[in-house]
Amino acid sequence: MIQEILKDIDQKKDEKITQLKEKRDERILVLKTKIKKKIAERMEAEAEALNKENLIQLMEFSQKKDTEINFLLQDEKNRIIQNVWKGVEKEINAMSDEKFSAVIISLLKFIPEMKGTISASKRVYPILEKNLKNSNFKLTADLEVEGFFVKSDDLELNFKISEILEQMKEEHNPEIINILFSI
């Protein structure tokens, strides 16, 4: 009988050990599942963060390149417009003497009656000399650029071709930009 009691105790002990092992295995399985899930969530979060960071860097790079391209395009537009105005100045300076004289004479109507000096370019000097015979201006042919410059005690008027074109450029550049670059 003691044998049977010991055998019964042994059997209950074995069953308890088996139950404990099964519970242990279940807990280990649950823990493994939880750990795998946490690892997967962490990896997903890190991948998402990395993707966001990469996307932000890509957007910043794209914006930087867009800005650089816009500056290059603006520089090219400015260069083209500058060339247009240089071409206009070149055309005016290359006009026949008759046409150039008409341009200079048309500018004389903007000079008020006064006493002063007019500095002119070598090409403009004879035109002014011929058309301002009875005026109170002292004429000189010492201007380096094409056109003339009027000076009195009270007033200075700049009729240099380059200066007139500069004023026209400021006034008409938006129209020219529209014509040249609108699609």
- Structural domain count, the chain: 2
From start to end of 27-170, where are the E strands? 116-120, 137-140, 147-151, 156-160
Domain shared by 88 and 63, yes or no? yes
Domain shared by 77 and 131, yes or no? no
Q: Residue 149: name the closest of 168, 113, 125 by CA.
A: 125
Of the residues 79, 94, 109, the one at which a domain ends = 94
Q: Rounded CA gap, 117 and 32, in Å?
A: 101
Domain shared by 78 and 4, yes or no? yes
From first to last of the 183 residues of the chain, give the pLDDT tens digit: 778 877 777 788 878 888 878 888 888 888 888 889 998 889 898 888 888 998 899 999 999 999 999 999 888 888 888 888 889 888 988 899 999 999 999 998 888 888 899 999 999 999 999 998 878 889 999 999 999 999 988 899 999 998 988 888 888 777 877 777 765
Domain shared by 120 and 146, yes or no? yes
Q: Rounded CA gap, 101 and 124, in Å?
A: 8
The two beta strands, 137-140 and 156-160, are: unpaired
User: Which domain, by its residues, includes 147?
Assistant: 96-181
Domain shared by 56 and 114, yes or no? no
Q: Which helix (H) or strand (E) holds 151?
A: strand 147-151
Domain shared by 105 and 164, yes or no? yes
